Structure 1
Amino acid sequence: MPEDDSSSGPRTRRRNQLGRRNPRLRMACLRCQRRKIRCDGELPACKNCRNAGAACTDGESARLKDLPREYISTLKRRISWLEGILRSRCPDVDLSQEPPPETREASSEAALDETTDTILQSPSALQTQDYPEEANETATEPSNQPVRSAPGAGALSHEIGLVSLGTNQDPRYIGPSSGYFLARVMLNSASKHDERLNRSGRDASFPTKLIEAIQGPLPLPARDMAKQLCDAYFDAIHLQYPVLHRPTFLKMLDQAYEQEEKDPVVAFQVFMVLAIGATVLSGRLRARIPAESYCLSALQHLEQLNLENSLQGVQCLLLLLIFTIHSPFVRLNVWYLNYHCLAALLDLGLQRNINIGSGISLLEQEMRTRIFWVIFSFDRIIATMMGRPIGVRDEACELRMPQGLSDNELGDVNQSRLPGTNKEMDFAMHLFKAAKLNSEIKYVANSIIRDSPIYAYPPVIDINDWQTSMLRQLDEWASQIPVSPNDPSEFYLRTTCQLRYHGLRMLLLRPSPAIPKPSSEALVQCHQSARESIKLFDSLYKKNLLVHSWVTFHALVLSTITLLYCIKVVPEIARDTEIDVLMGDLSISLSVLSATGEHCLAPQTVVGLLAKSNKGMSSLHKPHH
């Protein structure tokens, strides 16, 4: 095969020149040339230069075009340039590690040959190609991360999705309840990071390896600022996830300002509440408040906490989980944090109904119950988002509800308590009930194996009857959402409950392992819930009440994708949907996603991808005549 011989000949000869150069053609270094002394040509420095402690540079030669030291310098610059790109685009790759022993020799030799060939084939590259010293200046172009999935995964809702999130990580499992296409859309932004942030913290101590912050840890803010941040937390987060007892926390806040030596639990909880409150206000005020810096301040006390064996430790874990869900700049893994919380739940027996008859106070009894339900709810939410199994099954728990007492009622043992007279816990308890409905949908609709073992509960005989029954239960739950006055915080909570309702309806009605081909009637209802969800997000955004989080992001993107899917597969929906109505819904979705993109980078890419999908849908859509 003459082509191969001719193409490989010059390359082979050039390698031979580099690897086994004739001693007579070995070039003296510049210092030895000028002194006219014999040079042994050793690299990177000859013996004469080493003994003299002088710099050894390439000499001048009319015959030899390959200057060995310059060639090595070029390779070093190229390696530095490539490592800079890796640091920017693949931050999970640890460049301080050596390659594995079994692959080091074989792969490095082949890679070096390929790189050498590239340079040798273009001699001018040595002079014309620049390899910047600072990789951040060259590595700003986005990289497209490929989707790794089982064959044909796009065709069926229940096929396995294995998604690569980093070059040095095994693929991660994204299951059916997540919305498989959503995983593919989100993947394009997985390797991107906010270029506005300072990257110098990657090699810093423990806390800064977990949090990306423009500033380092911050001290406590002024008291009036702290009050604003704490109020934002208790108005938006606490009424959904009552992790803390507010009067107890306010005492901790006073201690934090009054005492120089801070208790680790006090310092951690105070700074975490400030951090979470800052994320809430940042989105609502559209201002940059240093939430990550307050989180860094909290993490300085993490190692001193008893996380596993105390109720206060579980509270700290949950605060960290809540902040991780609400901040795009945290490198903690939500899935693993969730399971740390589940492990603590079981370790402390929070799943069992231990009451005041066992010798604990009413406050401790109620906080145990509240914290159990918060962990229980997060487990269902996260498992649904990621399409993974539920961590602790319902039948392993005594699903007793909190008594509905307010924080002030719990703190005053002498105050008469009439359950149901205070509305503070109403929204949280209603969302806890939704978590039970979420469990059933996950168990029945999203179970991968349909044949139940003999020791499990009896299987559902008629899946369509079950679906109809679940829809009735969801409708009943929605009809009982607490009625709120004109208070903005209660409007936000009521809207949050409505979004939860429509999210569960879409989970029930869209394709699943149990119902891979839903009826047209089911998809019509699914389409209606998708539209309503988008409108609810829009109402929150227009009132400056939207709280940005990964849960919000997932729900909004999935609503948009569900809307497009239903129009695509159900001719009646496409026929009855006016193009102006469709484009209006999509415009709302993209506007809110763009606003979310101001707080985290992932939505920026999703907006672009959905915009392209929308153009394709609008060109295919036939308006009603």
Structure 2
Amino acid sequence: MPLSQTPTAVDGAAAAAPATTPCEAQARTSCQRCHRRKKKCDRALPQCGNCRMARFPCSFLNDDQQTAAYPIAFVRSLEDKVRKLEDELAAVLKNAQAAARSDTMLEDQLMEPSGLEFPVLQAAVDQSPSQVRPITATTTLGDELRLLSLEAAAERHLGSASGISFAKLTQAVLRRLTPDRADFVFHKELEVESTQHLLSRSPVDLLGSSLYHGFDSSTAFHHPFFCGITLSDITDPQPSLADVQLPPQSHLQHLVDFYFAHSHTLYPIVRRREFEETLGTILSNPQDPAAQSPLWLFRLWMILAIGSTTYCSVALCEESESMLYYNKALGYMEDALGYGDMPFADADDEDIDATGIRQRNPLQPSTMAVPLHLLRLRQLSSKIVKSVYSNKRNANMPISEREAIIYSLHRELLDWRRGMPFPLPDTHPQVPHLSSNWYDFNYYMQVAMLYRPSPLFPTLDQARVETLGDAAGKAIREATTMHRQQRFAYNWLNLLALFTSTLSLTYATTARPENLAVVLRESKAIETLQLAIELFDTLSVKFSAAKNIRRMIEEIVARYTEIDSQA
């Protein structure tokens, strides 16, 4: 499971703002000058409005540690600017190349041929009009990754660590799979009824249930993050929250157990013993003052909401129940906040009494061992992004210094993997991070992130390409193992992680200079990509974007298989 667990929400105000209002990124904290002067800071990047008005150098200009929230509208405006500059540059290069070379040499340039769509249209014309014909559109690996990364969290789409440039590079490398070294084209197919089929129906048929039966599904929001949200989900009246009752005790206990097995091991913010005592009071005597406490009612419904959400991510259940619990919890939030802060639970509080701290078994890890180990992984991931993808000194570094950075980070990843808490808590068989496969999956994910083409190493030697392919393939296999153990979390972050791993494996397989058929047999890339197809097929139940990704990988595997059979 990837590291960040809180995707950035779309800024509705920014998305709805007029085109004349510029969208800006906002820092998460005030600048140093506004903080010292106790003035309200607008936190605009690259410098705040107060400093800009005073013509004073804002601390944001020199702060490389500052994190920010980027509205999707802001990122799209940046993309528009980059796209215009790329078009202008492409036009200049095209004119220069036309003057220097003959037209027969232009097809070797890394540009999309203008006649690429002709075979697609011709294939559609050749079909019988009475058949159900697909409308075909072309797409690329970069387009799919852009859609997947941008629509859910803008931060994942920014910078060289996003993988967009790497996806474009992988798309270019796939030219090796085509006989004439032309672009490897992926097709999106949307099955629709032909015009002849519609016109053959009577007006009664057109106005009957055959046309409007699927109206609810046709008005679905086709969003790669939220799949299957229909118009009726918004317009249908929702049940009153006052009528929402606690679920049956067996189901309630299941959600509570899963919360403490999954989320509590990551964020220990509630004392389980105290919570279970209060829960028993609520169930046995609902009129008890403790059972009427807004603070405990807020905690109870929020725990049910989180437990239901995390379980649904593993079991691929629909999440209407968790949303109902969440809305119920929000009804108590304002009164609960009046009780003051809700501090984190003391680590290992079961070993603390009035006389002091009881000695633990030295072979038994602390209950804080897992969250601390995961925190260390997040720190390593940030370090890789900063040192490999965001280091401004990359262009001026000698090769030896660059190799030292890679070696040091790889050593830290090895130490992290070898330092996994052992034994892991055995609280629930479906919790992902309570399995050693989860730690292997994240280790190989970070190794692939470390060795793929980056600003630190734009070009890779054969050893690095082999390391990249090995790490990406093992990450996919570990994810498949968790999938078959019913431990894999089918969330957007894992979908993005699997797609980037698949890109890394495809690049590492196709870019190697050896005979491609030999590489395919030695690396078992076809078998590994078939495992990835299995995962994307399962993820497509929840995410519509996974369907397109699965189809693209199937086309690559089909070409790999053809090359392997011809050898």
Would you say same fold, with TM above 0.5? Answer: yes
Shift of residue 498 of structure 1? 1.4
Q: Deviations over 1:401-458 (max 9, x none)?
A: xxxx535225776551338453333332222222232232122112153389xxxxx9
Shift of residue 554 of structure 1? 1.9
Shift of residue 480 of structure 1? 2.3
Q: Deviations over 1:271-318 (max 9, x none)?
A: 232223223433544544622222222233344454998345xx7xxx
Report what 2:376 is aligned to.
433
Shift of residue 508 of structure 1? 1.0
**Structure 1 vs Structure 2 CA RMSD:** 5.0
Q: Indicate conservation of the 8 Å contact 1:578/1:624, yes or no.
A: no
TM-aligned CA distance change 1:582 to 1:219, over 3 Å: same
TM-aligned CA distance change 1:425 to 1:463, over 3 Å: same
Q: Tell me, in whole angstroms, the C-alpha distance in 2 between the residues paired with 1:599 and 1:540.
A: 18
1:578-589 to 2 correspondence within 5 Å?
578=521, 581-589=524-532
Q: Indicate conservation of the 8 Å contact 1:484/1:491, yes or no.
A: no
Report what 1:235 is aligned to.
261
Shift of residue 602 of structure 1? 3.4
Q: Indicate conservation of the 8 Å contact 1:503/1:533, yes or no.
A: yes
Q: Indicate conservation of the 8 Å contact 1:505/1:526, yes or no.
A: yes
- The counterpart of 1:176, out of the listed 146, 160, 164, is 160
Q: Tell me, in whole angstroms, the C-alpha distance in 1 between the residues paired with 2:242 and 2:375.
A: 37
Q: Indicate conservation of the 8 Å contact 2:465/2:508, yes or no.
A: yes
Q: Tell me, in whole angstroms, the C-alpha distance in 2 between the residues paired with 1:410 and 1:449.
A: 48
- The counterpart of 2:303, out of the listed 273, 281, 284, is 273
Q: Indicate conservation of the 8 Å contact 1:216/1:296, yes or no.
A: no
The letter of the residue matching 2:158 is I
1:146-157 to 2 correspondence within 5 Å?
150=83, 151=86
Report what 2:323 is aligned to.
292
Report what 2:216 is aligned to.
none
Shift of residue 464 of structure 1? 0.8
Q: Tell me, in whole angstroms, the C-alpha distance in 2 between the residues paired with 1:307 and 1:572.
A: 68
TM-aligned CA distance change 1:310 to 1:604, over 3 Å: farther
TM-aligned CA distance change 1:471 to 1:298, over 3 Å: same
The letter of the residue matching 2:312 is S
- The counterpart of 1:597, out of the listed 540, 546, 549, is 540
Report what 1:477 is aligned to.
416
TM-aligned CA distance change 1:418 to 1:287, over 3 Å: same
Report what 2:386 is aligned to.
443
Q: Tell me, in whole angstroms, the C-alpha distance in 2 between the residues paired with 1:307 and 1:448.
A: 45
| 2:455 is aligned with 1:500 | no
Q: Deviations over 1:197-222 (max 9, x none)?
A: 453454799xx9xxxx9x99843212
Shift of residue 245 of structure 1? 3.2
TM-aligned CA distance change 1:241 to 1:508, over 3 Å: farther
Q: Tell me, in whole angstroms, the C-alpha distance in 2 between the residues paired with 1:425 and 1:98.
A: 44
The letter of the residue matching 1:462 is E
* Unmatched 5+ stretches in structure 1: 1-90, 103-144, 316-362, 367-404, 453-457
* Larger Rg, first or second structure (1 or 2): 1
Q: Indicate conservation of the 8 Å contact 2:149/2:156, yes or no.
A: yes
1:30-179 to 2 correspondence within 5 Å?
150=83, 151=86, 173-179=157-163
1:415-564 to 2 correspondence within 5 Å?
416-418=358-360, 420-423=362-365, 424-447=367-390, 449-450=392-393, 462-484=401-423, 487=426, 488=429, 492-564=434-506
The letter of the residue matching 1:418 is R
**With CA pairs under 8 Å and 6+ residues apart, which has the higher RCO, 1 or 2?**
2
Shift of residue 459 of structure 1? 12
Q: Tell me, in whole angstroms, the C-alpha distance in 2 between the residues paired with 1:308 and 1:528.
A: 53
- The counterpart of 1:224, out of the listed 250, 273, 277, is 250
Report what 2:508 is aligned to.
566
Q: Indicate conservation of the 8 Å contact 2:149/2:157, yes or no.
A: no
- The counterpart of 2:272, out of the listed 216, 221, 246, is 246
TM-aligned CA distance change 1:101 to 1:448, over 3 Å: closer
Q: Tell me, in whole angstroms, the C-alpha distance in 1 between the residues paired with 2:235 and 2:382.
A: 41
Q: Indicate conservation of the 8 Å contact 2:402/2:456, yes or no.
A: yes
Q: Tell me, in whole angstroms, the C-alpha distance in 2 between the residues paired with 1:611 and 1:225.
A: 40
The letter of the residue matching 1:221 is P
Q: Tell me, in whole angstroms, the C-alpha distance in 1 between the residues paired with 2:155 and 2:380.
A: 30
TM-aligned CA distance change 1:425 to 1:613, over 3 Å: same
TM-aligned CA distance change 1:166 to 1:482, over 3 Å: closer
TM-aligned CA distance change 1:468 to 1:100, over 3 Å: closer
Deviates more, 1:295-304 or 1:225-234: 295-304
Q: Indicate conservation of the 8 Å contact 2:526/2:560, yes or no.
A: no
TM-aligned CA distance change 1:192 to 1:468, over 3 Å: closer
Q: Tell me, in whole angstroms, the C-alpha distance in 2 between the residues paired with 1:509 and 1:93.
A: 37
Q: Tell me, in whole angstroms, the C-alpha distance in 2 between the residues paired with 1:610 and 1:307.
A: 53
Q: Indicate conservation of the 8 Å contact 2:166/2:453, yes or no.
A: no
TM-aligned CA distance change 1:172 to 1:514, over 3 Å: closer
Q: Tell me, in whole angstroms, the C-alpha distance in 2 between the residues paired with 1:510 and 1:297.
A: 46
Q: Indicate conservation of the 8 Å contact 1:233/1:273, yes or no.
A: yes
The letter of the residue matching 1:598 is V
Q: Any idea what SS the aligned residue of 2:459 has? A: coil
Q: Tell me, in whole angstroms, the C-alpha distance in 2 between the residues paired with 1:409 and 1:605.
A: 52
TM-aligned CA distance change 1:473 to 1:294, over 3 Å: same
Report what 1:199 is aligned to.
231
Q: Indicate conservation of the 8 Å contact 1:594/1:604, yes or no.
A: yes
- The counterpart of 1:608, out of the listed 540, 551, 555, is 551
Q: Indicate conservation of the 8 Å contact 1:567/1:573, yes or no.
A: no
Q: Tell me, in whole angstroms, the C-alpha distance in 1 between the residues paired with 2:465 and 2:356.
A: 54
The letter of the residue matching 2:374 is L
- The counterpart of 1:301, out of the listed 326, 332, 339, is 332
The letter of the residue matching 1:273 is I
Q: Tell me, in whole angstroms, the C-alpha distance in 1 between the residues paired with 2:484 and 2:509.
A: 27
Report what 1:130 is aligned to.
none
Report what 1:406 is aligned to.
348
Q: Any idea what SS the aligned residue of 1:281 has? A: helix
TM-aligned CA distance change 1:192 to 1:511, over 3 Å: closer
Q: Tell me, in whole angstroms, the C-alpha distance in 2 between the residues paired with 1:421 and 1:284.
A: 31
Count of matched residue pairs = 384
Q: Indicate conservation of the 8 Å contact 1:460/1:466, yes or no.
A: no
Q: Indicate conservation of the 8 Å contact 1:269/1:298, yes or no.
A: yes
The letter of the residue matching 1:176 is S
TM-aligned CA distance change 1:269 to 1:568, over 3 Å: farther
TM-aligned CA distance change 1:615 to 1:170, over 3 Å: same
Shift of residue 171 of structure 1? 11
Q: Any idea what SS the aligned residue of 1:432 has? A: helix
TM-aligned CA distance change 1:93 to 1:288, over 3 Å: closer
* Unmatched 5+ stretches in structure 2: 1-9, 22-75, 91-109, 112-140, 172-187, 189-220
Q: Tell me, in whole angstroms, the C-alpha distance in 2 between the residues paired with 1:459 and 1:307.
A: 58
Shift of residue 607 of structure 1? 2.1
Q: Tell me, in whole angstroms, the C-alpha distance in 2 between the residues paired with 1:311 and 1:519.
A: 53
Q: Deviations over 1:464-520 (max 9, x none)?
A: 111112212212222222344895458843222111211111111112222222332
The letter of the residue matching 1:605 is N
The letter of the residue matching 1:236 is H
Q: Any idea what SS the aligned residue of 1:577 has? A: helix
Shift of residue 229 of structure 1? 0.9
